[in-house]
Amino acid sequence: MLGDEMMTWLLTGVALVAVCVPFIQGLRRALGAWSATRRVSPEELRAGEANRSGTNEPLALLMIRVLQKSLGEGDREGQPSDFIFDASRQYVINEYEQYYARLITMYASLLPPIGFIGTTGGMLILFLSMHLDDSSLELGALAIALTSSVFALIAYAALEAMKIRVYSRLLDALRDVEDLYHQADTRREEANRSNRRMPTTATASA
């Protein structure tokens, strides 16, 4: 009986290790994305730097820098500011996709095939154990066939759920930048209207 239990636990551990390798790598990327998509205060956005240091720079601050540089160049070239804002936002989203989302998806996509391989291998061992009439091998085969699929599906669902949550955090962070941009745009329009009124007032006084 001890041999049956040892074989079951051994093959269960093998299935768990096979799933943990891509899951841990994907989890590391997801945690990095969680740090990069954190929201920063309006004061930090205006300053263009975070008050507290972190492993990854907030993507909201990256968008602020790209937006400021693009607006300065766009004013000289006559580009509309709304077009520049949309282009800057898309640039930051592309950075997120390249360095975080795609890698998380790649690691998550490895998990279902690993579970399927474990299930197929377990079934082959099960057929072999039935032929050899080995009960310990039979229990081990059932263990690896069932646990590999369960572990892989749970890990896959966890990574996909984290990716969805991180993307929601990214949208919230970029929405803060958008609000700050609209406030600055409103102040700029009010200043332009005031400047246009001043010559008219001066002419009427003369």
State the average pLDDT for the chain: 81
Reply yes or no on whether the pLDDT at 191 is more than 70.
Answer: no
Highest-scoring range by mean pLDDT, 10-14, 53-57, 86-90: 86-90
**Residue among 103, 67, 100 nearest 169 (CA):** 100
Residue 55: pLDDT band (50, 70, 90) is low
Angle at 44 between CA 40 and CA 45, to 5 degrees: 80
CA angle 4, 113, 148 (to 5 degrees): 20
DSSP letter assigned to residue 55: S
201 pLDDT higher than 60: no
Q: Does residue 96 contact residue 66 with C-beta atoms inside 8 Å?
A: no
Residue 1: per-residue pLDDT: 42
State the helix-helix crossing angle for 59-77 and 135-205, rounded to 10 degrees.
40
Res. 99: pLDDT tops 70: yes
Residue 202 — pLDDT band, cuts 50, 70, 90?
A: very low
Task: Kindly report the pTM of this predicted structure.
Answer: 0.77
